[in-house]
Amino acid sequence: MTEAKAVERAILNRRAVRAFLPDPVDPVLLRRLLELAAQAPSGTNMQPWKLRVLGPQSRARLETALIVALDSPDLPAEEEYRYYPQTFREPYLSRRRKVGWDLYTLLGVTRGDTEGMKRQTAANLRFFDAPVALMLTIDRDLEIGSWLDLGMFLQNLLIAAQGHGLDSCPQAIFARFHPVVRRELAIPEDEVVVCGIAIGHADRTAPANQLVPEREPVERFTTWLD
């Protein structure tokens, strides 16, 4: 396989995996993935990303607190930052609805099944049982350019993991639970909780992992100028 084909395969095969096998990930390999991710470009080489690798104790403490918070009426309604628009419009509304209901259909969760949705949220908060759990943050005083850099770091990590035979899932849900994450992981107020990242080996038999989101053809998002 050529280098170009290997890169293409990693990009095309990467999916948001929502069920993992318990097989461990070699810590040496994980460190290598982080080294590769850190090769992402950043404006004036600021390298604004901050990452925490959760060990068994910190992870157990965090997951326990998150599951308790899931049933708590005291959880703040606002996320750490606004990921989605306040009002969805087309074509984004239809895309969002389709991928959401495609996933829930695979999981056997029907409209109005609040318990089923809650179970999936709880699985999300447990990093989908992946052997590797990471938490990504960024300094609060940085601007949108640094957030773009952060996204390139994250994509590098996901593609590098895929290239090394691992699967992954970036998890924005932790921004919603940022007070709990901040407390349990001792994250200072001057850092924004951006997302969690689950890494491991996908459980290929899990219904959730059969989801393949549709992608728009090039013609729909590209304008070719003379």
Domains of the chain: 13-212 (3.40.109.10)
**159-166 mean pLDDT:** 98
In the predicted model, what is the mean pLDDT of the chain? 96
The model's pTM is 0.96
Cβ atoms of 204 and 13 within 8 Å: the answer is: no
Greater confidence (123 vs 78) lies with 123
Q: Could you give the maximum distance between any two Cα atoms of the chain, in Å? A: 58
Q: Is 25 helix (H, G, I), strand (E, B) or coil?
A: coil
Q: Would you state the pLDDT for residue 71? A: 86
pLDDT over 80 at 78, yes or no? no
Q: Would you state the pLDDT for residue 170? A: 98
With CA atoms as reference, report the closest residue to 200 among 126, 139, 141. 126
Distance from C-alpha of 130 to C-alpha of 51, rounded to nearest angstrom: 17
Torsion of CA 36, 42, 45, 50, to 10 degrees: -60
**49-54 mean pLDDT:** 98
**40-56 mean pLDDT:** 98
pLDDT over 80 at 35, yes or no? yes
Distance from C-alpha of 35 to C-alpha of 27, rounded to nearest angstrom: 12
Q: Distances from the Cα of 217 to the Cαs of 16, 93, 109, in angstroms?
A: 20, 18, 29
Tell me the pLDDT tens digit for each residue of 172-191. Answer: 999 999 999 999 999 999 99
Q: Would you state the pLDDT for residue 76? A: 63
Q: Would you state the pLDDT for residue 2? A: 95
**64-93 mean pLDDT:** 88
Q: Is 55 helix (H, G, I), strand (E, B) or coil?
A: coil
Q: Would you state the pLDDT for residue 72? A: 82
Tell me the pLDDT tens digit for each residue of 98-127. Answer: 999 999 999 999 999 999 999 999 999 999
Q: Would you state the pLDDT for residue 74? A: 72
Sheet holding 167-171, edge to edge: 49-53, 132-139, 191-200, 167-171
Other Cβ atoms within 10 Å of 124 Cβ, number: 19
**What's at 163, amino acid-wise?**
G
pLDDT over 90 at 158, yes or no? yes
**74-98 mean pLDDT:** 89
Tell me the pLDDT tens digit for each residue of 82-92. Answer: 999 999 999 99
**12-34 mean pLDDT:** 98
pLDDT over 70 at 77, yes or no? no
Q: Distances from the Cα of 29 to the Cαs of 23, 32, 128, 165, in angstroms?
A: 14, 5, 20, 11
